Amino acid sequence: MAFRLLVTDDLSPEAVELLRSVDDIEFDVIKGLSPEQLAETIPGYHGLMVRSSAKATAEVIAAADELQVIGRAGVGVDNIDLQAASERGVIVMNTPGANTVATAEHTMALLLGMCRNVPQAAASLSSGKWERKLFKGTELRGKTLGVVGLGRIGRRVARRSRAFGMEVICFDPYLSDDRAHEMHIERVSFDELLERSDFVTLHAALTPNTKGLIGKEAIAKMKPGVRIINAARGGLIDEDALIEALQSGHVAGAGLDVLTKEPPDMDNPLLHMSNVVVTPHLAASTQEAQREVGMQIVQQVVDALHGDDFRNAVNMPVVDRHVLKELRPFLGMAERLGSLQTQLAEDAITKVEVSVEGEVIDDYIKPITVAILKGVLEPVPTGSVNYVNAPHVAIERGIIVAQTTGLHTTDYPNIISCRVEWDGGTRTAAASLFSHDEPRIVDVDGLRIDVIPEGTILVTVSHDEPGFIGKVGTMLGELGVNIATWRTGRSEPGGYAVSFISVDSNVPDETIERLSKTDPIERITKVHL
């Protein structure tokens, strides 16, 4: 049987030649397809290979009667409807490591170009001017570089920066101190990084939690004269706040490869400021990276169609599609359980223990553990975490993973329990599935509870005292925040209590700060599930 593959974007000549060399692969290259045109074209194809221009929408995937795998030649999969693909049993894979070196090197190019005014000086000289005094630069040696996100790219930037004589500190809440120490990097809080850094470089994924990470408040905590580099995602920076700080001089310079809107409006001030070096999303645009990404995705898609390997699959915990269909609700629940544990942990998680009980899931602790790890690591601000690489990312971050028994004994027919440890603390939480498809958090540190793990939830630890609900409800009501549900587990009347307060809209950080000072709250955390 021959497999048919549709390619919608350019591939390197080497990648095309690799496709031609596979005997049972027939492929067509059709570029510039709109989603509607792609939906009309896709029937009969077993594989789809895209970059960023083509969009594999739910309608496209519904029309793909033979589709088995979608390969994204690159990292981000925003142009692929992952939920629709998963529901149809279509494997989605990307190439997260192919452009690592190219992006790290471009970050260094921005760093050096910004410090020495290279593009501005070159432009000045090309226009016939000789303005040596105007372009006095600054050295890297002896300066402090703050790396936000110590994933594959962040680690390479840190290593190269140390070679320039820089002191490197990092903020990565999902990295253990031991792992940071092994790399000769000091792990600090986000606020400390802002306060100490002469340069701040961003290597974080764009998530609801990291959007606008560098905004007016963050910039105010930075040293006067700080310089900012971003070759990750444009939305990490509040551009209005950055422009204001560049104009005032609080931020001395910026090196940007990504912008919030791409292509940008040509009247964007960042394109015309003398203290900004900006490039049109070039970080991965090297001959070597483009060749590597094309070769990788071709080999991955071919191997997946042959059933030989499923590396870098972003949505596939098990190979057997029938098992996957049965397990999918449990896997989604396990991800949320892991995410909850990470968001509630008071420091970087160093150990994860998983236990499963129940006739449906007893034999599948391994994929469930992987799903929990994906949830634990997904907030990691350093790139995509999927069912294939989650165990490896955990190892990279020094997290010990154990599959155990007896974490929980309950009356639920199927239950997933997860115990996490961090420096100075531990928490056990458990989840069960109601009516085959309704996930619930049912236990937190031995306290019975019934929580739907979705949306924005305020989690409080408090003493069980009269009037507590009224105080919190009044404060939220004054802000126009509606409480959807309120679930509490307590040790005994008047004892220790944990409350999960689901709200219909976001709660500002300043409100969380006010609530944290309200008796009898001991701790309050905002989580997103």
Q: Following DSSP, what letter does each residue of 458-481 receive, concatenated? A: EEEEEE--TTHHHHHHHHHHHTTP
Q: What are phi and psi of 486, to 5 degrees?
A: -135, 115
* CA atoms 294, 299, 304, 310: torsion sign: negative
pTM more than 0.95: no
25-29 and 3-7 as β-strands: parallel, antiparallel, unpaired?
Answer: parallel
Same domain as 249, residue 195: yes
pLDDT at 44 (0 to 100): 95
Element of type H or E holding 237: none
Domain count, the chain: 4
Classify residue 283: in a domain, yes or no: no
Q: Are residues 167 and 73 in the same domain?
A: no
Q: Are residues 273 and 345 in the same domain?
A: no
Report how far residue 218's alpha carbon sits from residue 195's, in angstroms, rounded to the nearest whole number.
9
**Distance from C-alpha of 520 to C-alpha of 399, rounded to nearest angstrom:** 34
Distance CA 246, CA 184 (A): 32
Tokens of 402: 């154990």
Tokens of 320: 């057997």
Residue 406 shares a structural domain with residue 447: yes
Buried b (16+ CB within 10 A) or exposed e, 244-283: ebbeeeebbbbbbbbbbeeeeeeebebeebeebbbbebeb
For 130-163, b/e burial (b = at least 16 CB within 10 A) is eeeeeeeebebeebbbbbbbbbbbbbbbbebbee
Domain harbouring 518, CATH code: 3.30.70.260
Instruction: Please tell me whether residue 334 adopts helix, strand or coil conformation.
Output: helix
Q: Please indicate whether residue 262 is annotated as part of the active site.
A: yes
Q: Per the residue annotation, which of 132, 262, 322, 436 is the catalytic one?
A: 262
Residue 257 phi, psi dihedral angles, 5° rounding = -110, -10
Q: What is the pLDDT along the chain (529 residues), one digit of tens a residue?
A: 799 999 998 888 999 999 999 999 999 999 999 999 999 999 999 999 998 788 999 999 999 999 999 999 887 787 899 878 876 778 899 988 788 999 999 999 999 999 999 999 999 999 999 999 899 999 999 999 999 999 889 999 999 999 999 999 999 987 888 888 888 999 999 999 999 999 999 998 887 788 999 999 999 999 999 999 999 989 999 999 999 999 999 999 999 999 999 889 999 999 999 999 999 999 988 989 888 999 999 999 999 898 787 888 887 665 555 676 778 889 889 999 999 999 999 998 999 999 998 877 878 888 899 899 989 987 665 556 777 678 878 887 889 999 876 666 557 788 999 999 998 999 999 999 887 778 999 999 989 999 999 999 999 998 888 888 888 888 888 888 899 999 999 888 888 899 999 999 888 888 888 888 888 889 999 999 9
Note the pLDDT of residue 381.
57
Domain span at residue 323?
Answer: 317-453
Q: Where among 453, 468, 486 does a domain terminate?
A: 453
Let me know whether 31 and 55 are in one domain.
yes
Residue 524 lies in a domain: yes
Q: Give the full edge-to-edge strand order of the sheet including 3-7.
A: 25-29, 3-7, 47-50, 69-72, 91-93
Domain co-membership, 108 together with 224: yes
Domain at 60, CATH number:
3.40.50.720
Is the CB of residue 190 less than 8 Å from the CB of residue 171?
yes
Q: Are 60 and 35 in contact (CB under 8 A)?
A: yes
DSSP class per residue in 249-295: TSEEEEEES--SSSSPPTT-GGGT-TTEEE-SS-TT-SHHHHHHHHH
Reference 144, options 200, 187, 182; nearest CA is: 200
Rg for the chain, CA atoms, rounded: 25
Q: Look at residues 453, 486, 517 and tell me which one is the last residue of a structural domain.
A: 453
463: in domain: yes
Please give the pLDDT value at position 278: 96
Region for residue 100 given its phi and psi (left: phi exceeds 0; alpha: psi -120 to 50; beta: otherwise): alpha
| Model confidence pLDDT, tens digit, residues 340-398 | 999 999 998 999 999 998 877 878 888 899 899 989 987 665 556 777 678 878 887 88
| pLDDT 10s digits, 191-216 | 999 999 999 999 988 877 889 999 99
Q: Are strands 483-490 and 496-503 parallel, antiparallel or unpaired?
A: antiparallel
- Do 108 and 80 lie in one domain? The reply is no
Label residue 182 left, alpha or beta by phi (over 0 means left) and psi (-120 to 50 means alpha): alpha
233 catalytic residue (yes or no)? yes
Whether 154 and 382 have beta carbons less than 8 Å apart is answered as yes
Domain boundary among 278, 302, 336: 278
Cα gap 383→62, rounded to integer Å: 28
CATH number where 384 lies: 3.30.1330.90
**Facing residues of 523 across strands?**
461
With a CB cutoff of 8 Å and minimum separation 6, the contacts of 368 are 327, 330, 331, 334, 354, 356, 361, 416
Residue 326 belongs to a domain: yes
Measured CA to CA, the distance from residue 126 to residue 143 in angstroms comes to 31
Same domain as 108, residue 245? yes
Domain assignment present for 284: no
- Say if residue 111 is in the same domain as residue 171: yes
Q: What value, to the nearest 5°, has the Cα angle with vertex 99 and ends 93 and 105?
A: 160
**Residue in the structure block whose two tokens are 């997933």:** 416
Other CB atoms within 10 Å distance of the CB of residue 206: 20
DSSP H/E element including 499: strand 496-503
Residues in contact with 349: Cβ distance below 8 Å, sequence separation at least 6, in sequence order: 174, 341, 342, 376, 399, 420, 421, 422
Instruction: Pick the catalytic residue from 106, 179, 203, 233.
Output: 233
The CB density around residue 435, as the number of other CB atoms within 10 Å, is 6
Same domain as 239, residue 116: yes
The burial of 420, by beta-carbon neighbours within 10 Å (0-12 exposed, 13-18 middle, 19 or more buried), is given as buried
Angle at which helix 365-377 crosses helix 321-344, to 10 degrees, equals: 40
- Residue 303 and residue 358 share a domain: no
**387 and 514 assigned to the same domain:** no
For residue 120, give every residue at least 6 positions away whose Cβ sits within 8 Å of its Cβ, in sequence order, or none.
135, 274, 277
Q: Which residues of 332-369 are buried (b: 16+ CB within 10 A; e: fewer)?
A: bbbbbbbbbbbbbbeebbbebbbbbbeeebeebbebbb
